[in-house]
Structure 1
Amino acid sequence: MAPTQPPSTTTTTTTINRTTSDGGTIILNKYHLTRLLGRGNFAKVYHGRSLSDNSSVAVKVIDKPSISDPTMEPRLVREVAAMRRLNHPNILKLHEVMATKTKIYLVMELAAGGELFTQLIRRGRMKEPTARFYFQQLVSTLHFCHQNGVAHRDLKPQNLLLDLQGNLKISDFGLSALPESHKDGLLHTSCGTPAFTAPEIIRGKPYDGKKTDAWSCGVILFNLLTGYLPFHDGNLPNMYKKMFNRDVMFPDWISKQPRVIIHKLLDPNPKTRMSIEQLLSVSWFKKSLKPDPYVELYDDKEEGVKCEKTMNAFDIISSLSSGLNLSGIFEEKVRKERRFTSNAKAEEVKKRVVEVGGELGYRVRKMKDGENKKEGVYGLVRGRVEVVVKVMEVVPEVVLVQMTVVDGGDEFSEGGWDELKGGFQEIVVSWHDGV
């Protein structure tokens, strides 16, 4: 149950937190944090209890000084903005955003059933009716998101939560694309989790966010029915090759109808790929489908539309007058790895690696060849810094280049990445920095 008080924004210049006798923490005199529910790279999520009405919530705690990825700020802004726009029973609700000098708190609906991913780990795979139940909720909710101009772009079982009744709750909109992100109806940012990312994003081409979400749905349906991923491979280029070639091996227990759906969703060509709208009319999908409950849209420009406004949660991030300007609080730390894709021939890319290294004052050494003559590994050494560059052909028209700082990281600044990015820019189709 959500807190009864209206969503609000609380900002303070001092930390008003105190430890309780049970080992928990009272934050800003509003919530009692108890046990840890989970942790990610940049945040911890705690079970919380509202001091005003004793309702349970989940509180994501982001420690500002420890944030090491400069992409975290825009992700946080996108997450709050997307959740502000969307009010749907199968989307995790954001109740409130609070902040102190050292921490940001996102107070959200508690999904007491945990991650769908955990259910998969326990079961191994799901029976067809169970998989269809979750798939129906996922697809119907995505259709709602797309109608409101939001593409999720990071769909995977880890971002699908469950409530106590076993209903799906889509979470983590940090990589979502809002309507204002679209240029001529298409998106241009490379992002997502590789095993669930559509081929057109990997190619670095402008793409339709709705079609990339449809691809992810195909991966998830296969995952629910089998317990494993359709293109799983420890070697990233090999996994991409399987995706481009639609190299999917279906186990015998998957029946014909879901097999056809998965095949159409996992079409490498987005123009012929099954869309979410088309999927809604498929007989297998509609079987035992419960009607989508009434949902309230957030639209502050349209009169007469009911809304559950969480606009204050957004204001704390977007408005300088709120007392919280995120632009200066995220401590930058140089990332150790960057990747880009190129449509140049592999030999041209390898030649450019040697040229760029020499132009920037690196000593270039060829370390080894890859699995075939079109792949290679190079070491760029300058002082104590060494950057390993791997050139890997995925398919003839897509070359993946991975650059990793393996030594002297303390002396390698963001300026070092800027130099390399500038040197390779002529052959780059798209950078894959996870933003």
Structure 2
Amino acid sequence: MNITPFQKTNEEFKSYFNFIQPTLERTKVPSLLIDTNSLGITYTPYQNKLDDDIFKQLNFPHMKKSLYSPSSDSSSTSCSPTTLKPAATEELVNVDSIIPKKTIAVSPAASFLANFMSPPDNSFVLSNNTSPQINQHMMIDGYLLGESVGFGGFSIVRKAHHQTTGTLVAVKIINQHLMTATDKMRLERELTIWKSLHHPRITQLYKIIKTDQTCFILCDYCSEGNLLSFLNTVKKLEEEQAKKIFKEICQGVYYLHVDVKVCHKDLKLENILLSDQGHVKICDFGLAIYQNHHRYADEWVGGSLAYASPEQIKQPNPLTCPKTDIWSLGVILYALVVGALPFTDTYDLRLQQKILDAQYDVPMHLSSHLQQLIRSCLAHDTDKRCTIDQVLNSKWLKE
């Protein structure tokens, strides 16, 4: 009578296994591989060992590489190049495209998942098939391109210096051939809004140069990196130090909300840059929209879930109310003084529910006025949530 392998001796079992192993290898079901490159949402796990555990969670927007190189903090007015005029200009350069043409269709659902619910792109790996053929010694409008200092969904950012004056700028190089029609529409809106902004707490756009498939944006270069990089180094700030930084952020947001009637829609640690003298500059207006306009009903919401307000999470389309930015400010303030995000979870749907339920703890060692401001920014009811004017006039910032 034949016996099964499990009834054999050890030696017999080894012999039997060696006999059937080639057959097992031939018939083994392959692992399921999903190629997300066509959706533009390639993802690589975050590897920075300096980060706190909260910055390693897979659903956090902090995994996205900073727009500028990380560094430490210091403290004045502006890092704006003195040889450039603040008013942005736009040029259409009639040169051959430097990017191979390739069309990628992205469904609204995939776009929604990539931009809001899923982990954001951390790598933007520049493959031979999709990367712009730009070398480090390329000249753009008198500026010599240098090292790469950051990445975006469709872009790479390089440091550049002027050959004559030595002025430093950041050059954002956008690969438009990877973009959908909606992406291109958002880019045009971003550039329109960004060109209109002139404030010490906003990164200044100086010039736009376009080719057939590429857009070069010359703007402020902030050598001290962003707040995420800074917090990864110092872990958390004392209230007085946090107060200085947060007040400058609020000054920039006040300009956006009150003076130009714009909602940023993507306020987060990565989008708050520090100048060479330690002053704040808000960047990245890719999701910015005008207040109280109703023309965004056919767009999918974008942004970072950990910073998203509960009312925005309930809606698939961008809300034009500035109170959504105030919620994001509350998340930033909490992170500055606590060294952690108020809403954390490794599972997106659970994190979403925590935000909807406003589940967070305010440490009791913080001053009473600071606790009050955090709760006012993170008020679930928008009618009870403070405005940017009320934030700037809060007792904590006035102390």
For the 8 Å contact 1:2–1:95, the answer to whether it is kept is no
Deviation for aligned residue 1:234: 1.3
The AA in structure 2 aligned to 1:162 is: L
- Counting matched residue pairs gives 280
Give TM-score scaled by structure 2 length.
0.65
Report the 3-state secondary structure (helix = DSSP H, G, I; strand = E; otherwise coil) of the residue aligned with 1:119. Answer: helix
Q: Which amino acid aligns with 1:4?
A: T
Structure in which a larger fraction of residues adopt strand: 1
Equivalences for residues 197-276 of structure 1 within 5 A: 197-204=308-315, 207-276=319-388
Q: Distance in 1 between matches of 2:179 and 2:89?
A: 28
2:268 alignment partner, one of 145, 156, 161? 156
How far apart are 1:13 and its partner, in Å?
A: 2.5
Task: Summarize deviations over 1:118-142 as a string: whole Å, max 9, x none.
Answer: 0011111111111111110111211
Q: Which position in structure 2 is the counterpart of 1:345? A: none
* Offset, 1:167: 0.4
2:199 is aligned to 88
Compute the RMSD of aligned alpha carbons. 2.6
After the TM superposition, which of the residue ranges 207-216 and 107-116 deviates more from structure 2? 207-216
Q: Partner letter of residue 284 of structure 1?
A: W
Instruction: Decide whether aligned partners of structure 1 residues 94 and 236 sit closer, same or farther in structure 2, where only a CA change above 3 A counts.
Output: same
8 Å CA contact 1:112–1:162 kept in 2: the answer is yes
Q: Distance in 2 between matches of 1:280 and 1:198?
A: 20
**Residue of structure 2 equivalent to 1:110:** 221
Distance (Å, rounded) in 1 between the aligned partners of 2:252 and 2:332? 15
Question: Which residue of the partner structure matches residue 413 of structure 1?
Answer: none
**1:182 equivalent among 293, 311, 319:** 293
1:50: Cα distance to partner? 2.0
Alpha-carbon shift at residue 207 of structure 1 (Å): 4.4
- Distance of 1:266 and 1:8 partners within structure 2: 39
Question: In structure 2, what is the equivalent of residue 4 of structure 1?
Answer: 83
Percent of residue pairs bearing the same amino acid type = 28
Q: How many Å apart are 1:187 and its aligned residue?
A: 11
Paired residues of 1:153 and 1:175 also in contact (CA < 8 A): yes
Cα distance between partner residues in 1 of 2:255 and 2:179: 34
The structural deviation recorded for 1:186 is: 11
Separation in 1, partners of 2:92, 2:320: 38
Deviations 1:194-253 (A, max 9, x none): 111111111118845211111111011001111211011112222122222221112343
- Return the letter of the residue paired with 1:10: E
Structure 2: which amino acid aligns with 1:198?
S
Structure number with greater CO (CA < 8 Å, separation at least 6) is: 2
Structure 1 residues 104 and 83, CA, compared in 2 at 3 Å: closer, same or farther? same
Q: Match of 2:307?
A: 196
Deviation at 1:11, TM superposition (A): 2.4
Q: Residue deviations 1:136-186, cap 9 Å, x none? A: 01112111111111110100000010001100000001100125x613999
Paired with 1:186 and 1:140, the residues of 2 have a C-alpha distance of 29
1:60, CA displacement in angstroms? Answer: 0.4
Q: Name the CA shift for 1:227/1:31 in 2 (closer, same or farther; >3 Å).
A: same
Structure 1 unaligned segments of length 5 or more: list them: 18-22, 288-435
- Tell me the distance in 1 between the aligned counterparts of 2:297 and 2:138: 45
Counting only pairs closer than 5 Å after superposition, residues 336-415 of structure 1 correspond to structure 2 as: none
Partners of 2:97 and 2:212 within 8 A in 1? no
Q: Does structure 1 residue 98 correspond to structure 2 residue 179? A: no
1:120 corresponds to 2:231: yes
How far did 1:51 drift? Answer: 3.0
Aligned: 1:62 with 2:174: yes
5+ long unaligned stretches in structure 2: 1-79, 99-134
CA distance in 2, matches of 1:101, 1:189: 27
Among candidates 146, 158, 166, match of residue 46 of structure 1: 158
